[in-house]
């Protein structure tokens, strides 16, 4: 049995607008509240000692009394059972005077601590022999772990930040950032992170550092199901990290190959087989070539199948109904010169590189020929 049980969540974004969902946006906003309640239910059922919210509980600094009241009610449920909640404000809900975290409804909760300072400071959690270190989002380009060494005398130490992980060549810096070297040298037993909207993490020099992603999907770029992290700290300081599903809906972006679908009928069957009232699907069909695709009405199919999904957006790239051989394009035309130059550049390509180049060539010829008028 773990010596200490923690539920780690982040990026709840209560009040997010979901404009891309149209009329379904309000329904998903309500789902965010229901999913946050499920996070609290899980913490209560698992008899957690601590709940960590690593930034962006709200989608904006001044979310309105109704949303603050809902968050306060749920956190109050934890407090009444003696479970502590610690929060760091994030990029969307940065600490502001008169803002969400300065509201009396939250300030009056006994077992709640919100980090408001920009410096990485400790909060000794009563009764747990535990220090939680955190810092509010500052917007300054700073690594709060730079040079950090704990000097607190506590048996267990946890860090919590709303920050980007520096990955050379991919992610260099952000308003608040950390790197693998500073995590490894921190002396912490667990690093709770927020800001990245996908589940990820690993040990850095023996220190587990994890992003849980949002508990309920927020956009089409959000991969996987909404989870929280259950963290068990053993007496020797080792941490066992497990994702636990709490989200209801899935948001999926899908790229389909029209050349392999067998025409619009194949697309219909593929989408029909994915029907799910809790799935938000954005499907993009590429290489939609041939007479069948040229007559296809994507909007009509989207309208027909939309009731089977939570949300459906369908895009079909323009295709071609005839050949694209050199003889079809005279050399003294722009399209003819483009085709011959492209063919020479493609001569040494193969595999996926050739496939991408062919698709680019077809699109180029389509537009040069007037969007479908002419020999294409």
pLDDT band at 374 (very low <50, low <70, confident <90, very high): very low
pLDDT at 372: 43
Residue 376 has pLDDT above 50, yes or no: no
Residue 268 has pLDDT above 70, yes or no: yes
User: What's the token pair of residue 18?
Assistant: 């979901």
Please tell me the pTM assigned to this model. 0.83
User: Taking Cα atoms as reference points, which of 177, 183, 80 lies closest to residue 135?
Assistant: 177
Which pair of tokens denotes residue 360? 């680019």
Q: How many Å from the N-terminal Cα to the C-terminal Cα in the chain?
A: 68
Whether residue 204 contacts residue 184, with contact meaning beta carbons closer than 8 Å, is answered with: yes
Q: What residues form DSSP beta bridges with 208?
A: 203
Residue 126 is predicted with a pLDDT of: 95
- Whole-angstrom distance, CA of residue 309 vs CA of residue 27: 13
| 371 phi/psi in degrees, rounded to 5 | 70, 35
> Which has the higher per-residue pLDDT, 38 or 262?
38
More confident: 223 or 338: 338
Query: How far is residue 310's CA from residue 330's CA, in Å, rounded to a whole number?
Result: 49
- Say what the pLDDT of residue 151 is: 81
CA distance linking residue 214 with residue 203, whole number of Å: 21
CA angle 340, 343, 349 (to 5 degrees): 165
Q: What's the longest Cα–Cα distance across the chain?
A: 83
For 114-136, what is each residue's pLDDT tens digit?
999 999 999 999 999 999 999 99
Region 172-199 average pLDDT: 89
Q: Which structure tokens are listed for 343?
A: 């063919």
**Cβ neighbours around 315 below 10 Å, total:** 12
User: Among 50, 55, 45, 48, which residue's Cα sits nearest to residue 125?
Assistant: 50
Nearest to 209 by CA among 226, 225, 189, 223: 189
Q: Express each pLDDT in 47-102 by its tens digit.
A: 999 999 999 999 999 999 999 999 999 999 999 999 999 999 999 999 999 999 99
* Nearest-10 crossing angle of helices 351-368, 334-346: 180
Domains and CATH numbers, the chain: 4-245 (3.60.21.10), 250-319 (3.30.110), 323-376 (no CATH)
pLDDT band (50, 70, 90) for residue 235? confident
Question: How much is the pLDDT for 336?
Answer: 77
Q: Are 113 and 78 in contact (CB under 8 A)?
A: no
Place of tokens 């003696």: 82
């Amino acid at each position: 049995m773990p010596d200490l049980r923690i539920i780690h969540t982040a990026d709840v974004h209560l009040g997010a607008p979901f404009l891309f969902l149209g009329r379904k946006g309000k329904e998903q906003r309500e789902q965010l509240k229901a999913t946050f309640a499920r996070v609290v239910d899980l913490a209560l059922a698992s008899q957690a000692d601590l709940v960590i919210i690593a930034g962006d509980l709200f989608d904006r600094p001044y979310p309105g009394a109704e949303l603050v009241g809902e968050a306060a009610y749920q956190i109050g449920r934890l407090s009444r059972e003696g479970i502590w909640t610690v929060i760091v404000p994030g990029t969307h809900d940065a600490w502001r005077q008169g803002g969400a975290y300065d509201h009396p409804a939250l300030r009056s909760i006994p077992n709640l601590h919100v980090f408001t300072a920009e410096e990485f400071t400790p909060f000794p959690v009563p009764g747990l022999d535990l220090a939680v270190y955190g810092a509010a989002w500052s917007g300054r380009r700073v690594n709060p772990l730079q040079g950090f060494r704990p000097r607190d005398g506590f048996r267990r130490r946890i860090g919590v930040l709303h920050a980007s992980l520096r990955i050379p060549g991919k992610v260099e810096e952000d308003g608040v950032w950390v790197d693998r070297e500073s995590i490894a040298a921190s002396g912490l037993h667990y690093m709770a992170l927020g800001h990245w909207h996908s589940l990820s993490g690993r040990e850095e020099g023996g220190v587990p550092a994890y992003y849980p992603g949002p508990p309920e999907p927020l956009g089409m770029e959000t991969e996987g199901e909404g989870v929280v992290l259950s963290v068990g700290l053993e007496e020797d300081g080792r941490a066992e990290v497990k994702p636990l599903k709490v989200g209801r809906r899935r948001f999926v972006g899908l790229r389909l190959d029209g050349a392999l679908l067998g025409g619009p009928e194949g697309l219909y069957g593929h989408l029909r087989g994915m029907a799910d009232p809790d799935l938000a699907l954005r499907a993009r069909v590429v290489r939609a070539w041939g007479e069948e695709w040229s007559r296809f009405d994507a909007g009509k199919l989207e309208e027909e199948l939309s009731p089977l999904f939570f949300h459906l957006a369908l895009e079909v790239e323009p295709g071609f109904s005839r050949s694209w051989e050199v003889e079809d394009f005279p050399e003294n035309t722009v399209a003819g010169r483009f085709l011959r130059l492209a063919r020479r550049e493609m001569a040494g390509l193969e595999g996926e590189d050739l496939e991408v180049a062919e698709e680019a060539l077809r699109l180029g010829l389509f537009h040069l020929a007037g969007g479908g008028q002419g020999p294409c």
